[in-house]
């Protein structure tokens, strides 16, 4: 759903639905009366009769006799003013967009003044609205047959943001443009992730990255099987041994290495399907493992965004892409491999594959001498067990860097919560016959996985690991998402990079 700005002068054009918000036990904003006094009266009488009191997420739609340009209205309860926030605004907009989704409504007009408050300013509300409208109207339905009625209802919808203030239009237009870029990149990530494993494999993922790079004019290098062998990236090679599709290491590079604020490396886990390998997973819900490349999708999409936004940065995005299968010549539990940085690993569980491919990619970042490394990965079921879908697990070697990531998370709603990376956990990943084992004990799985990764992070470079196992996939429809990929990480990392100094 596209959003456009609209000013008082445009209010006489026709629309299919008019939306206004109401705080609990509050009054309608005066702008409603200015729009149309008869309509305002209709709305007030509905409230007086107690048909709607403004409780959070309460909705009521009806036809009224006033404002003839938009005879149907949807009233949205905003809850009490004390509990109001930007997050609540997003949720309520999501509710409204979902209410419109399947209906034959093409032009929606929203009175933004009714949603503003000390806690939400106009300049902040416009991009939030744009982003949420785009994300909440998202569907992954390219493989579905559509009937005629659905097609009609699904026709392009536009959300007209009616703004009564005259000043600051330029800032608002810029805010919309920026939000559109970021939301579209999130959709791009969602699409890559929702594609099934028979469509997106290491090769097609690499092709998608290359195509994006071409369209955004960013540098792209894909390391294939022969390159990976030459480089001795045995973690990536070992995990992919069971697959008929060759692995790839996708490297996207934006900006100039020798200018500006130093290099930032982003590393995303790109397991296009995770069966577990010989340590095979149970079949229940295994189809969700097509989302095991969500980290890679986020990194690829973010490189596209920063190119669109022309951020003055040098960013290298690395995405090791493999398929964790159990055919061909798969790795056996107990295999010992020598990783890119020379350390040996006993693969006690072939399902702990993400850390093996990330290890090589992390070690590879050394050549860029980055100022910061952030990896993002659907790494452990343990993280999903800890945080559910509400927080990204965050661990790292730099409190400063983590504070920045945490702030970006709060600002975008992709919140991160820190777990300890204490040395005390290191014992559990020592190998019997090798330097390391790829699994720790039965507990603290998210932490031991991060402790493992730390062994491969180049010395003295600030590093943050983000575990998105719980947040990358949405089991049930939410206000800004349907069942499937969430595209988590795109908004977070874009904000983090935009604020990088």
Nearer to Zn ion, 274 or 323 (CB): 274
Which single residue brings its beta carbon nearest to Mn ion?
Answer: 351
Shortest distance (Å) from residue 236 CB to ligand BES: 14
Residue 268 binds ligand BES (CB under 6 A): no
Selection from ligand BES, Mn ion, Zn ion, none that 381 binds (CB < 5 to 8 A by kind) is: ligand BES
Contact of residue 333 among ligand BES, Zn ion, Mn ion, none (CB under 5-8 Å per partner type): none
Q: Does 351 bind Mn ion (CB under 5 A)?
A: yes
Query: How many angstroms separate the CA atoms of 82 and 236, rounded?
Result: 51
Is 389 a binder of ligand BES (CB under 6 A)?
A: no
The answer to whether residue 353 forms part of the interface with ligand BES (CB under 6 A) is yes
- Angle among Cα 294, 298, 303 to the nearest 5 degrees reads 150
Q: Which stretch, 142-150, 224-232, 374-382, 425-433, contacts ligand BES (CB under 6 A)?
A: 374-382
330 phi-psi bin (left φ>0, alpha ψ -120 to 50, beta other): beta
Three state DSSP letters for 54-119: CCCCCEEEEECCCCCCCCEEEEEECCCHHHCCHHHHHHHHHHHHHHHHCCCCCEEEEEHHHHCECC
Exactly one of 113, 160, 274, 346 binds Zn ion (CB under 5 A); that residue is 274
Using rule CB under 6 A, residue 300 touches ligand BES: no
Count of CB atoms within 10 A of residue 67's CB?
23
Using an 8 Å Cβ cutoff, are 453 and 375 in contact? yes
Instruction: For ligand BES, give the closer residue by CB, 255 or 354.
Output: 354
Name 176's Cβ contacts closer than 8 Å, sequence gap at least 6. Answer: 3, 4, 5, 126, 127, 130
Q: How far apart are CB 380 and ligand BES at their closest, in Å?
A: 4
Cα 460 to Cα 41: distance, rounded to the nearest angstrom = 66
Which residue among 195, 274, 323, 414 contacts Mn ion (CB under 5 A)?
Answer: 274
Name the phi and psi angles at 100, rounded to 5: -90, -25
For residue 67, the minimal CB distance to ligand BES (Å) is 48
Check binding of 292 to Zn ion (CB under 5 A): yes
Nearer to ligand BES, 348 or 495 (CB): 348
Please choose, out of 65-73, 98-106, 295-303, 352-360, the segment that lies near ligand BES by the rule CB under 6 A: 352-360
| Residue 292: CB minimum distance to ligand BES, A | 5
Of 198-206, 247-255, 272-280, 429-437: span binding Zn ion (CB under 5 A) = 272-280
Number of C-beta neighbours around residue 173 at 10 A: 13
Q: Is 243 a binder of ligand BES (CB under 6 A)?
A: no
275 lies in the binding site for ligand BES (CB under 6 A): no
- Segment contacting ligand BES by CB under 6 A, of 79-87, 222-230, 345-353, 364-372: 345-353
Catalytic residues: 281, 355
Cβ 239 to Mn ion shortest distance, Å: 9
- The partner in contact with residue 384, picked from Mn ion, Zn ion, ligand BES, none with C-beta cut-offs of 5 to 8 angstroms by kind, is ligand BES
Closer residue to Zn ion, CB minimum distance, 295 or 458: 295
Pairing of β 263-268 and β 270-274: unpaired
DSSP H helical ranges for 380-456: 381-387, 399-412, 445-454
Within positions 114 to 133, which residues make up the interface with Zn ion, using CB under 5 A?
none
Can you tell me the distance from the alpha carbon of 306 to that of 182, in angstroms, rounded to the nearest whole number?
A: 9
- 375 sits near ligand BES (criterion: CB under 6 A): no
Choose the one of Mn ion, Zn ion, ligand BES, none that binds residue 341, judging by a C-beta under 5 to 8 angstroms depending on kind. none
Strands 314-324 and 473-474, bridge-based pairing: unpaired
Distance separating alpha carbons of residues 209 and 206, to the nearest angstrom: 5
Hunting for tokens 């039965």 — which residue is that?
A: 442
**Which residue do the tokens 């054009």 mark?**
13
Alpha-carbon gap, residue 474 to 481, rounded angstroms: 7
Q: Using CB under 6 A, which residues numbered 182 to 211 contact ligand BES? A: none
- Cα–Cα distance, 164 to 370 (Å, whole number): 47
Give phi and psi for 60, each to the nearest 5: -150, 130
Minimum distance from residue 281 beta carbon to ligand BES (Å): 7
Where do contacts with ligand BES occur on this chain (CB under 6 A)?
A: 274, 292, 349, 351-354, 378-382, 384, 439, 445, 469
């Amino acid at each position: 759903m596209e959003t456009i700005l609209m000013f008082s002068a445009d209010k006489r054009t026709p629309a299919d639905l008019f939306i206004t918000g109401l705080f609990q036990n509050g009054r309608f904003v005066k702008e409603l009366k200015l729009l149309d006094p008869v309509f305002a009266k209709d709305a007030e009488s509905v409230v007086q009769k107690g048909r709607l009191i403004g409780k959070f997420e309460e909705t009521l739609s009806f036809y009224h006799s006033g404002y003839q340009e938009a005879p149907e209205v949807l009233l949205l309860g905003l809850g009490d003013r004390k509990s109001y926030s930007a997050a609540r605004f997003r949720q309520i907009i999501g509710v409204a967009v979902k209410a419109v989704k399947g209906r034959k409504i093409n032009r929606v007009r929203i009175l933004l003044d009714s949603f503003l408050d000390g806690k939400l300013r106009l300049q902040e509300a416009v991009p939030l609205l744009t982003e949420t409208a785009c994300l909440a109207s998202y569907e992954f339905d390219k493989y579905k047959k559509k009937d005629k009625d659905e097609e009609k209802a699904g026709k392009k919808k536009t959300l007209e943001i009616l703004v009564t203030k005259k000043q600051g239009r330029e800032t608002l237009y810029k805010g919309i443009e920026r939000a559109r870029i970021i939301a579209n990149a999130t959709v791009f990530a969602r699409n890559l992730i929702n594609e099934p494993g028979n469509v997106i494999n290491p090769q097609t993922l690499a092709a998608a990255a290359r195509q994006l790079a071409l369209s955004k004019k960013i540098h792209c290098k894909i390391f294939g099987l022969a390159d990976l062998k030459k480089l001795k990236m045995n973690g990536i090679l070992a995990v992919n041994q069971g697959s008929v599709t060759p692995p790839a290491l996708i490297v996207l590079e934006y900006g100039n290495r020798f200018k500006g604020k130093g290099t930032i490396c982003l590393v995303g886990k790109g397991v296009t399907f995770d069966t577990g390998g010989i340590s095979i997973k149970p079949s229940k819900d295994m189809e969700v493992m097509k989302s095991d490349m969500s980290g890679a999708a986020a990194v690829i999409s973010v490189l596209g965004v920063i190119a669109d936004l022309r951020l003055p940065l040098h960013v290298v995005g690395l995405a090791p892409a493999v398929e964790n299968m159990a055919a061909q010549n798969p790795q056996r539990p107990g295999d010992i491999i020598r990783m890119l940085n020379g350390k040996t690993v006993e693969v006690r569980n072939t399902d702990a594959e993400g850390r093996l491919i990330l290890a090589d990619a992390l070690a590879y970042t050394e050549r860029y001498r980055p100022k910061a490394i952030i990896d993002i990965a659907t790494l452990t079921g343990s993280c999903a067990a800890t945080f559910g879908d509400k927080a990204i697990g965050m661990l790292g070697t730099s409190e400063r860097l983590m504070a920045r990531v945490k702030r970006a998370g709060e600002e975008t709603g992709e919140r991160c919560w820190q777990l300890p990376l204490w040395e005390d956990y290191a014992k559990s990943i020592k190998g019997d016959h090798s330097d390391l084992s790829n699994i720790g004990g039965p507990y603290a799985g998210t932490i031991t996985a991060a402790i493992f990764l730390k062994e491969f992070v180049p010395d003295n470079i600030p590093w943050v690991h983000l575990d998105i196992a719980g947040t990358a996939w949405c089991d049930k429809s939410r206000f800004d998402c349907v069942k499937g990929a969430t595209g988590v990480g795109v908004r977070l990392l874009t904000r983090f990079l935009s604020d990088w100094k």
